[in-house]
Structure 1
């Protein structure tokens, strides 16, 4: 039985550029070049995103990665996305925010319920 999620690998055209988006968006993002020059590692909320250089698929299918954030982080990230010119879609009474990275991967920021 698995004990935890180890990493999520995403194929991107420019790993360093994609990593810089996460570093700009989240204050606690840790970015590290991977083994060789073909990937970059980004740690967010205990999950490692492995950004692998390649040709990403162009079509979106509803798959996405969601990060739980508090209301303050949600507001900061929404402002940072807008400042970077990245479109966001608010959902569920403005408690969820969806955005795409540079390679059409979809991410969600989900406000954690109080309690």
Structure 2
């Protein structure tokens, strides 16, 4: 039986830039760094965003697509996150067209072309609007 998501892994060129990204945008806490050891396929760092385990593993950047990871935020925090993202010089992507009542989203790329979304809505709200 599936209990939930174990962790999310992102392949990054530079682990220090990934650390700056996850800490700077999400307030992540680094909980592990392989520091030249290879227990997996390459060097890596682990972070916690709340209770979510994030792994940044050194490798080649990915090509951009609409595949993305979305985190839930409250509407009152939207501008705070927007400022964090712009302070890091990250590229903000124009979001898709929305219908009334669908909540707010902020799409942005990390340093390795991963697309992230900060979303103020819930599945229940989305289904109600649709």
Tell me if both proteins adopt one fold, taking TM over 0.5 as the criterion: yes
Which residue matches 1:54? 59
SS at match of 2:30: strand
> Within 2, Cα distance between the matches of 1:77 and 1:88?
12
When the two structures are aligned, how many residues end up with a matched partner?
A: 112
Structure 1 regions of 5+ residues with no counterpart? none
- Post-superposition Cα deviations, 1:53-91, rounded to whole Å, max 9, x if no partner, equal 11122x222110000001222211101111222122353
Q: Is the 8 A contact 1:41 1:51 kept in 2?
A: yes
Please list the CA deviations of residues 5-55 of structure 1 after superposition, one character each: whole Å capped at 9, or x if unmatched.
01111110012211211211223x211333443101121132211000111
- Structure 1 residue ranges, 4+ long, deviating more than 6 angstroms after superposition: none
Match of 1:5 in 2: 5
Consecutive unaligned residues of structure 2, counting only runs of 5 or more, are: 37-42, 126-130
User: Which position in structure 1 is the counterpart of 2:89?
Assistant: 85
Superposed CA RMSD in Å reads: 2.1
